[in-house]
Chains A and B, each alone.
Chain A
Amino acid sequence: MGNARLSEADIDDLYRRTTPAAVRMAYLITGDQGTAEDIVHDVFIRLVLTSDAAKTWDNPGAYLNKSVVNEITSHRRRITARLKRQHRATAEQPPPVDELGQWQERDALLQHIDRLPVKTRTVLVLTYFYDHPDQEISNVTGWPIGTIKSLRSRGLKELRKDFAHDRVI
Chain B
Amino acid sequence: MTESFERSVKEALEHRAAQEVPLSGPMGVGADITKRRKRRRAARMSAVALASVAVLGGVWIWSNAMPGETRSIEVVQTPDVTQEAKVPLDEASSWRHVPALVALAPTQQEAIDVHYAEELTWAHCMRDAGLTISRVEPSTQIKTPGSSWGVLYSFGLGRAPSFENVADLEKARPLPVPNKNLNGMTKHPDAENLSPDEDKRWQDAEYGDRSKRVVFANGSSPGDGCLAAKYQATFADGSEYVALQSAQDSVFAGLMTGLDNIPPLPTSTANDVVSCIKGKGVDAYYTSDGKTAYPTVVTPEWDGNPATEAAAEERLAEAENARIVCEQKYGVNKFFYSHAAPRLQKGFESVQADGDKLVAIKNARVEKARQVIAELAPLEPAK
Contacts and interface: CB of A to CB of B under 8 A. Distances in A.
B315 interface: no
A86 B71 CA distance: 9
Nearest to B82: A85
Contacts of B14: 129
A89 B84 contact: yes
A134 interface: no
Contacts of A38: 36, 39
A86 B13 CA distance: 18
Given A33-B71, A96-B118, A90 B13 contact: no
B111 to A, nearest CB: 14
B23 A37 contact: yes
Nearest to A38: B36
Q: Interface centre among A27, A85, A105, A110, by most B CB within 10 Å? A: A110
Residue among A48, A88, A98 facing the most chain B CB atoms (10 A cut-off) = A98
A102 to B, nearest CB: 10
A28 B16 contact: yes
A88 B84 contact: yes
Interface in A88-124: 88-90, 92-94, 96-99, 103, 105-107, 109-110, 113, 124
Nearest to A92: B86
A128 B10 contact: yes
- The majority secondary structure among interface residues of chain A is helix
A64 interface: no
Contact of A86 (B2, B9, B21, B72): B72
B15 interface: yes
Contacts of B9: 109, 113, 124, 128, 156, 159
Given A85-B84, A110-B16, A93 B117 contact: yes
A93 B71 contact: no
Decide if the interface of chain B is mainly helix, strand, loop or mixed: mixed
Contact of B12 (A94, A98, A113): A113
B17 A23 contact: no
B11 interface: yes
A121 to B, nearest CB: 10
A13 to B, nearest CB: 9
Contacts of B119: 94, 96-97
Interface residues of A, number: 46
B90 interface: yes
A101 to B, nearest CB: 9
A93 B13 CA distance: 19
B12 A109 contact: yes
Contact of B342 (A32, A97, A129, A160): A97
B293 interface: yes
Contacts of A63: none
B377 interface: no
B20 A16 contact: no
Given A27-B16, A41-B32, A96-B92, 20 more contacts: A16-B27, A23-B20, A23-B23, A28-B17, A33-B20, A34-B65, A38-B36, A48-B29, A85-B84, A88-B84, A96-B118, A97-B342, A99-B349, A107-B12, A128-B9, A129-B14, A156-B2, A159-B5, A160-B5, A163-B5
Interface of B: 1-2, 5-6, 8-17, 20-23, 27-29, 32-33, 35-36, 39, 65, 69, 71-72, 84-88, 90-92, 115-119, 291-293, 342, 345, 348-351
